[in-house]
Amino acid sequence: MEVREIRKQLEEKLNRPEWTLSYDHKEAKLRIEDKELKKGMTIALKPLLAKVERLGDRAISEMVHYVQTGMAAFKKQTTIKGNEKRIFPVIRATSFPEENRDGHRLLFDEHTAETRVYYSLDLGDSYTILHEQQLSREEMSAKEIREMALFNLRSLSEPLKADKVAGNTFYFLNSNDGYDASRILNEPLLEKMSQKVEGQLAVAAPHQDVLIFADIVNERGYDVLAQVTMQFYAQGRIPITALPFLYENGELEPTFILAQRKPKE
């Protein structure tokens, strides 16, 4: 499949009278915009092509759903007051924009060298990232938002599926609620896992919809962790980082420390 074929499929599936579709040939990007609100979304087709080559039509279906829910979210009320229980943190890569398309600075905190924490208002089948002007308009502080988000995060379930490879145990958290990777901010959960493991605890958030814990007891575990993390990173709709972390003394440290402990060839 080529970019022009993906463009044709998307334009057919996203053709609505209330939306305007425009294509940037130079950047290979498709823009979908609501005619009334003058807001919309832009799809980069080259990265999507790579996913289509791996996942087939599923990648296009997921993108269509993502656009449809995102466009619908523009029409929903996004006031914070009255919706305090629907505020959650979301983990994103440091390359994620610091401003929205309207030029409003998004509310975020630095997390690690690879990740940032943004704050969202859950709208059911989608969510919106909060920005500083929104807080000012509703007379709320960033501290209040952070406290709400972390409190709500701790109320989410923590379903874990375990798999053992070469003596190392891997735990996968994949509830598909949009906040799986966000659970890396749940300190009680991290502490519970650190008490549970027999060896070294490693944590990975390759994309939005999965969080991986690894109980590393031998050198083979490092290789498996790196391979699994990269595989999930490549397949994720919203990739975050292919770099796993060590969890020690309440801190997340990048895995280049792990690499130094691997046996020499």
Q: Do residue 141 and residue 229 come from a single domain?
A: no
Integer Cα distance of 236 and 258 in angstroms? 24
Band of residue 262 on the pLDDT scale cut at 50, 70, 90: very low
Residue 237 is which amino acid?
R
Dist CA 76 CA 224 (whole Å): 43
- 187 assigned to some structural domain: yes
Cβ burial, residue 155 (10 Å; 0-12/13-18/19+): exposed
Report the domain count for the chain.
Answer: 3
Confidence of residue 174 (pLDDT cuts 50, 70, 90): very high
- pLDDT of 76 reads 66
Residue ranges making up the domain that contains 238 = 160-261
Q: What is the pLDDT of residue 92?
A: 96
Q: Is the domain of 132 the same as that of 215? A: no
On average, the pLDDT of the chain sits at: 89
Q: What pLDDT was estimated at residue 77?
A: 58
| Residue 7 shares a structural domain with residue 43 | yes
Confidence of residue 261 (pLDDT cuts 50, 70, 90): very low
Residue 256 lies in a domain: yes
Stretch 242-254: mean pLDDT: 89
Domain boundary among 154, 189, 205: 154
Domain end: 73, 99, 116, which one? 73
Residues 6+ apart with CB under 8 A from 137: none
Q: Does 248 share its domain with 221?
A: yes
Residue 234 lies in a domain: yes
Distance between CA atoms of residues 239 and 237, nearest Å: 6
- Based on the fold, state whether residues 107 and 195 are members of the same structural domain: no
Same domain, 46 and 91: no
**Maximum average pLDDT range among 40-49, 130-139, 165-174:** 165-174
Q: Do 169 and 257 fall into the same domain?
A: yes
Is the same domain home to 143 and 50? no
Any domain includes 78: no
At residue 38's C-alpha, the angle toward residues 37 and 43, to 5°, is 120
DSSP string spanning the chain?
Answer: --HHHHHHHHHHHT--TTEEEEEETTTTEEEEEETTT--EEEEEHHHHHHHHHHHTHHHHHHHHHHHHHHHHHTTS---STT-GGGEEEEEEETTS-SB-TTSPBBPEEE-SSSEEEEEEEE-SS-EEE-BHHHHHHTT--HHHHHHHHHHHHHTS---EEEEEETTEEEEEE---SS-TGGGGG-HHHHHHHHHH-SSEEEEE--BTT-EEEEEE-SHHHHHHHHHHHHHHHHH-SSB--S--EEEETTEEEETHHHHHHSPP-
Given 73, 102, 129, which residue is the final one in a domain? 73
Kind of pairing between the strands at 87-93 and 108-110: unpaired
- Asked whether the predicted pLDDT for residue 177 surpasses 60, the reply is yes
CA distances from 131 to 45, 74, 93, 248 (A): 27, 14, 17, 33
Average pLDDT over residues 108-132: 90
Q: Is residue 206 part of a domain?
A: yes
Residue 79 lies in a domain: no
88 and 134 part of one domain: yes
* Residues sharing a CB contact under 8 Å with residue 16, sequence separation 6 or more, in sequence order: none
Reported as a single tens digit per residue, the pLDDT across 22-70 is 999 999 999 999 888 778 889 999 999 988 988 889 999 999 998 998 8
CA angle 43, 21, 33 (to 5 degrees): 75
Read off the pLDDT of residues 63-94 as tens digits, 9 standing for 90 and up: 999 899 888 877 765 788 889 999 999 999 99
Q: Please check whether residues 25 and 105 belong to one and the same domain.
A: no
Percent pLDDT > 70 in the chain is 95
In a domain, 116, yes or no: yes
Residues 171 and 219 both lie in one domain: yes
Residue 176 pLDDT class (50, 70, 90 cuts): confident
> Is 221:168 a contact under the CB 8 Å cutoff?
yes
pLDDT reading at 258 higher than 60? no
**Together in a domain, 67 and 123:** no
- Assess whether pLDDT exceeds 70 at residue 259: no
pLDDT in tens, 140-154: 999 999 999 999 999
Q: Comparing C-alpha atoms, which of 86, 125, 128 is closest to residue 107?
A: 128
In sequence order, what are the residues at sequence separation of 6 or more whose Cβ sits closer than 8 angstroms to the Cβ of residue 192? none
